[in-house]
A and B are shown apart, each in its own frame.
Chain A
Amino acid sequence: MQKEKLVLIGNGMAGMRTIEELLRLEPALYDITVFGAEPHPNYNRILLSPVLSGEKTIDEIMLNTRAWYDEHGITLHTGDPVTDIDRKRRIVKSRSGRELPYDRLLLATGSYPFMVPVPGVDLPGVMGYRDIADVDAMIAAARAHQQAVVIGGGLLGLEAAYGLQQQGMDVTVVHLLDTLMERQLDKPAAALLQASLESRGLRFLMQAQTAAIEGTDRVERVRFKDGSAVPADLVVMAVGIRPNIALAQAAGLYCERGIVVDDTMLTYDPRIYAIGECVQHRGQCYGLVAPLFEQAKVCANHLARLGYGRYQGSVTSTKLKVTGIDLFSAGNYQGGEGCEEILFQDPGAGVYKKLVIRDNKLDGAVLYGDTIDGAWFFQLMRQGTDISGLRENLLFGQAHLGDAGHGGQTQAAAMSDDMQVCDCNGVCKGEIVRAITSKGLFTLDDVKLHTKAAASCGSCTGLVEQLLASTLGSDYSAPEAKPLCKCTDYTHDQVRAAIREQHLTSIGAVLQALDWREPDGCHVCRPALNYYLLSAWPNETRDDGQSRFINERAHANIQKDGTYSVIPRIFGGETSPQQLRAIADAADKYQVRTVKITGGQRIDLLGLTKEQLPHIWKDLTDAGFVSGHAYGKALRTVKTCVGSEWCRFGVQNSTKMGIELEELTWGSWTPHKFKMAVSGCPRNCAEATIKDFGVVAIESGWELHVGGNGGVKVRATDVLCRVETPEQVKEYCGAFMQVYREEARYLERTAPWVERVGIAYVKKRVVEDEVGRKALYKRFLESQKLAQVDPWKERATGAEAHEFTSLRQVNA
């Protein structure tokens, strides 16, 4: 069968990103032809400013070479714009006379710089700023001439002005309004920016309306409405861009300001998609690259006939690419009705920060001089995190939220090139930045694949994202929600919703209903799906052992030599001579090589073979032990201090409380491991404030804490509330675990989950909504009825025997 023909008009970033996404989904579905007006293969347009300023070369900003097009069987016609689309016959015609039929057409014609319609605008030496040819012309002009005028004090105009100045020209920026970058900055930030650029030698003419551009053979001066004039050998117009819709309009496609598309990026012609700066989606046209990439993903999804991607608009952020000036702006930076503003100003140090808050959520941000937290603020905005719990320290950034340890996101900018970012794979900042710029990487996944940074434990993910943000500027935006794994484009939350709404009760059903790309899924998605199914339908789902990581399948911890360790549950960490004797006897009998007290107050028996496991479990369960689940994404341990029974400071019986909590919760599966502790007084010897759920006794009852973590990234808990009785402690604990189980993503610990949804949300669900809390607790108890069956006892009495025996033994 002959392949369908896909023609792309526009060899820019948006169109080619769509093709790349499409090839990833369906490498062989179409015969692809690309028409580009420029003579180059695909390049990174957003890095034109560093080329102009001489900080990068053209070669460094190429994204796909001609060889790449050949390798992927794509026909590329450069320097040959399409001049006509015949929608009836489904044919495109190019300037050089090529005629090509299409089955699907993708328009990515981009935008053009708007030229202010004044006399003299067509004089030689007057130009827009859009492509490589413009940059070449500007660099050439800088060699022969001295005086440059940039009309437009927005992002692009300032980058052009800075670049021309770096090329040795005297530059005057002419702006119609009284503040620079008025679409991204409020007045105070704009004033700081102007002062800083002036100190670098740029001149500004504010509130200046251009009346004419004068000259005989070439531009000589720019004249203003008030009659004054400035000399100019070069005039760059950077007052805005307009979607390039002429071709689409001529073909009779419905256009307003841009080519109008729906949420699937389809135009009014069902054979024609459009993407990038030329489109208008829900009334919006975008001129930044991050939204284009989101559109590309959706468009590719439909071109690949998957049919479920949906583009719903983008929140955008900007960063000025002028070396030495740190400027970040996102969302509603002006504030206004119904908004509150948090401000910080230190004019002496050149620092200005403004956060705009609406309904307890971050709605916008302007940062000048210190933009280190830009990526974090942007993430809070996109995720719609309730910030009421962070409010006091929000402005001072993530580093001030008790987030010690690696302190990830705030370091990147200050690091030197030879400092290590990824401690697992030994990757330095310089390597990552080089890979981002030289290989044209835009996403975290790209960086992981090419450099291995953040590809192991993931604790440097924040740093790598920060490096992407600072290297790419406005062109990087952390994806709001990532696909669950490489087998699907659906996010964790979408998959979970489908499981609930479509009542899916097996992994096979999920893979089929959601069109998984791999028939069996993979080692990343299957454990997640198994968990989501068990959490949504505990009574109907069969736990799939083959989709569990070995530790959970074998109910013991695999060690580096392939042996296992066994940790019996010791409720609340309180043991007895009989228990210790039983453990000692078992350790003797099975010749356990190492006996170790764990961090969670349990005893670890290491070095057992898989075949020995059911046997040692028999001995241990006969002595009354159950599995300690030290191997699972499950309730691990409840650590306690001795409390009021013995301690002269203790105010409540913390050991008893701990034992009761562990009896209540053992056996429950959770998105990630779940640790608890109970301290008998505020001295907190059980370290309850770095646990997922911590209880600290106070004179009048108990203080409950959530979301702590003592691992790679230390996080102290947030206080949930105070309660009076042990029964209440249990109810709140069960309810908290149940919200976490139902709503956190698989492998998301409570600490990042609480940061993502906000402690205010957790309080609303568990503390303020009494009916809701009781319902959560009820669901928790319901699922515990099925969960508290000891897996060790089952296996000690013959269950899953194949797991623990070999097929055969031979002497060979």
Chain B
Amino acid sequence: MSAVMPEPTWVALGPIDSIPRLGARVLRRDGGDIAIFRTTDDQVFALLNRCPHKGGPLSEGIVYGRTVACPLHNWCLDLATGQAKAPDEGCAPSFPVRVEDGHVLVSLTPGAD
């Protein structure tokens, strides 16, 4: 980890409607793909697309509320924090996301927590 926090670089991902409600799309990236989720009420979240359990692609899971169920073994992760629901333990790194004028932007610097 570097001593100086880099300025967040925001990457534009296009209109929010390109992500299905209760679904996800993927941002391909050398440093690991990022899954971009959209909830029923149009909130958008971003997690590293790797389940902390066995690396399953979270973008392919079923989304409900603020949760995604990993497609490989049904671990359920909180979309905002990436934390696995008890009794499972683990965390997928999350990334800051914002929506401006109906367009989604994600920062490639993982969230502070």
Contact = CB atoms under 8 A, between A and B. Distances in A.
Nearest to B36: A807
Interface in B63-81: 63-65, 67, 69, 71-74, 76
Contact of A560 (B39, B62, B72, B87): B72
Given A802-B20, A812-B108, A523 B76 contact: yes
A520 B13 CA distance: 25
A550 interface: yes
A167 B33 CA distance: 68
B23 interface: yes
B14 A519 contact: no
B55 to A, nearest CB: 8
Interface string B20-52: 111101111111010010011000000000000
A547 interface: yes
Nearest to B60: A550
A807 B64 contact: no
Contact residue range for chain A? 20 to 34
A697 interface: no
Nearest to A610: B60
Contacts of A520: 22, 39-40, 63-65
B23 A546 contact: yes
Given A807-B13, A812-B9, A812-B108, A558 B27 contact: no
Given A802-B18, A807-B36, A808-B13, A523 B27 contact: no
Contacts of B27: 806-810
Contact of B14 (A523, A547, A807): A807
A523 B72 contact: no
A315 interface: no
A2 interface: no
A243 interface: no
B9 A806 contact: no
B13 A549 contact: no
Chain A CB count within 10 A is highest, among B13, B21, B64, for B64
A807 B29 contact: no
A806 B26 contact: yes
9 smallest CB-CB distances across A and B, nearest first, come from A523-B69, A520-B64, A523-B62, A550-B60, A809-B28, A546-B22, A562-B57, A550-B71, A807-B25
Interface of B: 9, 11-14, 18-23, 25-31, 33, 36, 39-40, 54-57, 60-65, 67, 69, 71-74, 76, 87, 108
Given A520-B63, A808-B13, 17 more contacts: A518-B64, A518-B65, A520-B39, A522-B62, A526-B64, A545-B20, A546-B20, A547-B62, A550-B61, A554-B60, A558-B57, A558-B72, A807-B14, A809-B28, A811-B29, A812-B30, A812-B31
24 contacts: A449-B87, A520-B22, A520-B64, A522-B67, A523-B76, A526-B64, A527-B62, A545-B20, A546-B62, A547-B22, A550-B60, A558-B60, A560-B54, A561-B55, A562-B57, A562-B60, A806-B26, A806-B33, A807-B26, A808-B11, A808-B28, A810-B11, A810-B30, A812-B30
